[in-house]
Every structure is written in structure tokens, then in C-alpha cells.
Structure 1
Amino acid sequence: MAYCCFTARNLQVIAFSDEEGVRFQTAFLGSAALVGTLPVSALLISDKSGATVQHALKENSFEGTEESLLQLKYKEGSVWGYIEVHIEQGPVLESLGLPLGVVNGIAG
């Protein structure tokens, strides 16, 4: 079944990986790149096996350059809103028979 909708503003969907810093022991790598605060040194951070962030990007089909990644930035004022989607890591919604929950903050 196909769905279609129209929005008053442009909509972009972005998927970040390892925002919690599990693999590279540093948080918010993707979102830092998106807002222009990713330091060059972040590309050299390595995981337990010795693979760097830069290596992981190339291994996962990143086609940009170090320079293009570090220049990535949304212009201030160009984003109207932001919604972050997470899976529930507990039984609350399921036990209530709810498919979706909306919160305005998280703990941790």
C-alpha cells in the first residue's frame, strides 16, 4: 500500500550511527558532523579492533572526503524542527498495547 502526504516544509530523514559512543567510545559523531563541530581528530579515533572512524566510513560506502565531511554543516536558522526517533528499550509500551509513545525528554 502506498502512502502520500504533503508537508508545509521540506522533510529530511537522517540516520545516525553510534551516537551513544559504543563502538568508538565517543558520543555524537554523526550529529557533531551535521552541525559542523566534528574535530579532525575524531576521524582518527579507533575501536577495540583498531579500525578508525575514517576507515569505518569508507567501509560503509562513504564517498566524500575528509574535507567534505568536516565542511558539512546546516546553516544556522535553516532547520525549523527536529524529531529524534528511538526504539523503546523496555516493556512499557508493549505491556500497554501501544504501538507508539511520545516524550519531550529522556533520562541518561
Structure 2
Amino acid sequence: MSAVLRTIWGCWAALVVLLATTTGLAFVPLGRWNIVVALAIATAKALIVVIVFMELRRSSGLVRVFAGAGFLWLLILLGLTGADYSSRHESYIPNTLQLHETPVKR
């Protein structure tokens, strides 16, 4: 078996193991750590795909810079989304003011 096929089969096996781990951990009550573990496993899967299948391991420096810039931009957008979500008050959610207002008697 060639080295390329061994790499592809190894990546496939790693992705299947990580998939089984994700599925198994979905049934384990970890409390607040569920999302942390799920995101860590998803990051590992994404790194396998990026390094092996997108061939960033063998690419030039310029391609790596642009891949890093894309990842940095994704982190900025996720950070801004998290900041927006955490800074919102309940009254800013659309259509909730009607639920809290008292009806006007005429």
C-alpha cells in the first residue's frame, strides 16, 4: 500500500474514532463541559481535514498565511458574535415587549 493510501486510511480511521467519541459523549452528562469537549473534538476533526486533505502541510508559506488569516477572521467573527450575545438584555429581543406590557384600559 502506498504512503498516500496509508495517510488517507489513517485520517479516515481517526475521523471515525472522533465521530464515535462525539456520539458517545453526547450521552454522558458532563454539565457545562459538554460544549467544551464537543468543540475540542470538532477542532481536532477540522485540523485533520485541513492538514491532510487541504495539504497545508506541504503548501507554500503564502498559502499558510492566507489560511491563518481566514482562521483569524473566523475567530474575530465568533468573538464579536459572543460579545453581542453576552451583552444583550432580555428587552432587546424582538417581540418580547408586548409580553411584558400591561394592556391599556379605555
- Specify the TM-score bucket, using the shorter chain as the normaliser: under 0.3
Greater share of helix: 2
- Name the TM-score, length of structure 1 as normaliser: 0.20
Over alpha carbons, which structure has the higher Rg? 2
- TM-score normalised by structure 2 residue count: 0.20
